[in-house]
Amino acid sequence: MLVITFWYAARVTNMQMSFAQASWLRVVQMMPLPFCFISITNAAYIGMPREQSNQVAGLINFVRNLGGSILIAITNAQVTNRSMWHEQHLQQNMQPGSLAYEQQLQALNGYFGGSVGSVNSSSLALSNLYHQLLAQATTQGYQDVYMELAWMSLVLIALAFLLSKNRPGAGPGASAMH
């Protein structure tokens, strides 16, 4: 389910999203988390004696907090990295001689010329175009990271099949912890 939510987030994230749409996207992204944490917690207790349940719980909480912090830092850095990559590639199309660039620049010059004068409209038009470029590059950076997280989730699903099997009654710690 995580794979689907990350893939969906990569597809629907755009610059025209409203706050309500972004909020609902976040709700959709959080729906599979209980299923993940319940499974991870159950896997952590397999084979552990009942006397060590407090230590296991403390270790799970520590690793979850530390891992979450590290993953947040990595994804933030990756969004920045991917945004800069997209910015670099988008700037290649913002060169004099590019028809779309020239048309947009002339349109913005005309728009701003009426309110700030023709002398200031050129710099204001350029800054507006650059702001649009940054917003688009950042959006594409988030889309890339959502797709990377979807692929990582697929890999983690495959790795889950390598976990030890729970064999009730096969020895100490095989019973469920409460």
Prediction pTM value: 0.78
| DSSP symbols for 41-104 | HHHHHTT--GGGHHHHHHHHHHHHHHHHHHHHHHHHHHHHHHHHHHHHHHHTTSSTT-HHHHHH
pLDDT of res. 142:
96
Pull the structure tokens for residue 11.
């597809």
pLDDT of res. 95:
84
Tell me the pLDDT of the chain (178 aa) as tens digits.
889 999 999 999 999 999 999 999 999 999 998 888 888 888 888 778 888 888 888 988 999 899 999 999 999 999 999 999 999 999 988 888 888 888 998 899 888 887 777 778 888 988 999 999 999 999 999 999 999 999 999 998 888 888 777 665 555 554 554 4
